[in-house]
Amino acid sequence: MTKIIGLTGGIGSGKTTVAHHFEAAGIPVYIADDEARKLMQSPEIIAEIRHTFGNSVFDDAVLNRQKLSQIVFNNPEQLQRLNAIIHPAVRNHFENWVSRQKEIPFVIYEAAILFESGNYKKCDLIIAVTAPVELRIQRVIERDKTTREQVLQRMQAQWNDEKRNSKSDFVIENLDPAATKKQIDGILKILKNS
């Protein structure tokens, strides 16, 4: 049976970079945020978002993710409402994806809120990616062309590194690309031998 290896980390920690290293090594990787973005375009999800949040998060018929983000990251209750729409759809999509990986010993499930969503319970092992907070803030500001305040808001909606790391089987400190790759290679060796 295919093992599920959870890959998580706070915003800006570099989980996607780590996920790409696993992909390059031939390991199937499911990136939950990317799939959630695609699923948010489906007519069923759009209808649920419109019903829950109203027309103010749409520009004509197109969902404005920025407007929706401003609502949910300022209000934990609203974030919970959005998660109640998105998480079940992603969970179903992931389960279908895993069922097509029958011959593969393990896959990587990359999710920022792996613990917060409860999806860690489906994982056999968990890898956390960490980096200093200031570096993470800098990375997200550059990547998303956003403000420090918006990054901090998103960070506050996630577990901190200490809490996440304490529940993980492996921790990758993502500071330097060469050192990060070395840590990934070490974990891959363990996973392939287990």
- The reply, when asked if residue 15 is annotated as ligand binding, is yes
- The reply, when asked if residue 14 is annotated as ligand binding, is yes
- The reply, when asked if residue 102 is annotated as ligand binding, is no
- The reply, when asked if residue 12 is annotated as ligand binding, is yes
- The reply, when asked if residue 13 is annotated as ligand binding, is yes
Q: Determine the 3-state secondary structure of 9 from DSSP.
A: strand
- The reply, when asked if residue 10 is annotated as ligand binding, is no
Q: Determine the 3-state secondary structure of 122 from DSSP.
A: helix
| 51: Cβ contacts below 8 Å, ≥ 6 apart | none
C-alpha count within 13 angstroms, C-beta hemisphere, residue 111: 25
CB-CB contact of 93 with 39 (8 Å): yes
- Rounded CA-CA distance 4/23 in Å is 14
The token pair that represents 13 in the structure block? 């920690």
| 132: Cβ contacts below 8 Å, ≥ 6 apart | 175
Binding residues: 12-17
- Please give the annotated binding residues for ATP, written as ranges: 12-17
